[in-house]
Amino acid sequence: MTIRAKVFLFALLAVVLVCLMGIHLFDASRRSQMIRDQVTIAQDQLDTYGRLHALAWPYLNQLAQTRLSGGDTALVRRELMARVDAEMVRLEDTLSREFRWLEDRTTEHERHEYQELRVALQAWAEWAESRVRALPEGTSVGSTVEWLLYTRFEQSVGVHIEDLQREERAELGELRRRWDESARLGQMLAMFFPVLCFVLVLALAFAIIAPMRRSLKELTSVAARIGRGDFDIHTSGVGHDELSVLARAFDRMARELRESLEEKQRLIRAEAEVSEREARRYNALLEKTVLERTAELAETNARLQDSIQQLQAAQEQLLFADRLASVGRLAAGVGHEINNPLAFILSNLRYVHQEMRDLIGAPAEDTRQEMLAALSEASEGAERVRLIVQDLKSLSRPDDVALGPVDVASVVRGSAKMARHEVRDRARLVEECGGVPPVRANAARLGQVFLNLFINAAHAIEPGRVQENEIRVVASISSPGLVTVEVRDTGSGIPAEHLRRIFDPFFTTKPVGVGTGLGLSVCHRIITSLGGDIRVESEVGRGTCFFITLPVDESADTTEQSAA
């Protein structure tokens, strides 16, 4: 028998057992429901017989009162029969419900007894009424008469009702006995049927699994021997199931592998007999090919090195181009900054020249003091021009990439002075960069980063509300060996869909002709080349904050410790 047939047989047995259990439960439930309904009907009939039996005394009392008051006793009799008919309707209803389980002749017999009971009740009611009506006018019905009438009721009707009650009690006892037997049988089946099912399923599972386990163990051993290269095997696959077919397939595979191994050994011996001259020729050809490929690889590496050098040069030119773009953006502001000191330099020099030309002899003390003050102011203005030009020169020159200790506060101040013309009409620039150690960086390139960030922050703020907006620069030690500089503004913010692209080259949200899209890309490249990190957080309408993290210059810490 195949494994599939065994599994199907196992499943079929489980299904049959479950179906048998379900059928038994359904039949037990149906029989319990039937017995319960029969018990309910019998109890209803007993209650009805009790109510019919209890009608006698109220009827006699009502007849006595009606006779004493001179009323119509026939009306009392009709009321009694109406109650009797109502109880008979209830009995008929129980018969119609009992008809589902009893034979037709049984229900007909009970219906005939009900009719006889009604006739007996009617006859006694008429007889009792006639006896009460026959009493003299104004005479009350005494207890003796009532007892006589009730005794006649018990003899004619009560006996019949007791017989019916006795039959119903016997039937009710029989139903309860059957109900108890059904419950006991259900309990026994509930105890033994699961045990029987468990034993059958366990036996069938063992009959399926035991041979399968032996076959799998043998196949595992055969597979291990084939894996070790032992192809001289033979399995005991003589059955017709899937594992026996697989065992025979293993035998056939081992035989074919053994034949293939022998054929391969013959080929190896044949190949060993190939002439050594062919082998040397092949080796020479292989060496020639290797030399050619090596020469091509060296040439390719040389071209790749040239490309890398050109790329590095292009990147340096990109950085310098961004600086020149920043210088171009600041040109108007720088010209305005230089124009103011030049104006009062020229004015003071003209004043001194005029005074010297008009002066005859030694100047008076007041005149000499005014001339000295004018020359001092001219000197201060020239110094301001020199500093502005020096700052601009430090930004525009192509600097080297040498790294060293850089004071963050001084670099921020220099960049703030160069961006002052862009910022002063838009926001307040607040610097809090003191108390942090020098970082390892390049001052010019770091200044280029801060200048780009200041200009971008200024362009994100509408001009005209300086007191309501600010650009705040805060430097702090974020962790041991690292300094973080925050550049925070209260501008319009950056939409969430643009945040992941702001460091991409040539990406800009500014109008055409206003921005090139290189500023933040260059900032990112400069910071990463310095060994730092730059990231951004922004919310539309709330502002933007750039976080620049740079390593502390360890050489500066060593120098300070040596000096101490």
Q: What one-character-per-residue DSSP string does 114-140 give?
A: HHHHHHHHHHHHHHHHHHHHTSPTT--
What ranges do the domains of the chain cover?
A: 3-204, 309-398, 400-564
Encode burial over 91-114: b for 16+ CB neighbours within 10 A, e otherwise. beebbeebeeebeeeebeebeeeb
Q: Rounded to whole angstroms, how far apart are CA atoms 457 and 316?
A: 25
At residue 369, the pLDDT reads 79
In 228-275, where does DSSP find H-type helix? 242-272
Q: Rounded to whole angstroms, how far apart are CA atoms 188 and 312?
A: 93
Report the candidate in 501, 494, 406, 395 with the shortest Cα–Cα distance to residue 452. Answer: 395
Q: Are 114 and 91 in contact (CB under 8 A)?
A: yes
pTM of the model: 0.37
Q: Rounded to whole angstroms, how far apart are CA atoms 142 and 132?
A: 10
At residue 477, the pLDDT reads 92
Report the candidate in 338, 316, 322 with the shortest Cα–Cα distance to residue 453. Answer: 322
DSSP helix, strand, coil percent of the chain (3-state; round to 5): 75, 10, 20
pLDDT along the chain (564 residues), means of 10: 66 76 74 76 82 84 80 84 87 73 58 82 86 72 78 85 84 83 78 77 74 74 74 65 69 76 77 69 78 80 74 60 57 56 67 69 71 70 60 51 86 86 88 92 87 88 89 92 94 86 71 54 87 92 93 71 48
Q: Rounded to whole angstroms, how far apart are CA atoms 43 and 120?
A: 23
Vertex 499, ends 496 and 501: CA angle to 5°? 130
Vertex 380, ends 425 and 338: CA angle to 5°? 40
At residue 141, the pLDDT reads 66
Q: Rounded to whole angstroms, how far apart are CA atoms 419 and 455?
A: 6
At residue 105, the pLDDT reads 44
Q: Rounded to whole angstroms, how far apart are CA atoms 266 and 261?
A: 9
**Alpha carbon of 225 to those of 211, 213, 234, 394, 480: distances in Å?**
21, 19, 11, 80, 62
At residue 331, the pLDDT reads 54
Encode burial over 495-518: b for 16+ CB neighbours within 10 A, e otherwise. eeeeeeebbeeeebeeeeeebeeb
Encode burial over 265-283: b for 16+ CB neighbours within 10 A, e otherwise. eeeeeeeeeeeeeeeeeee
Report the candidate in 396, 391, 389, 400 with the shortest Cα–Cα distance to residue 323. Answer: 396
**Token digits for 499?**
């945040």
Q: Rounded to whole angstroms, how far apart are CA atoms 425 and 423?
A: 6
Class for domain 400-564, per CATH? alpha beta
At residue 177, the pLDDT reads 86
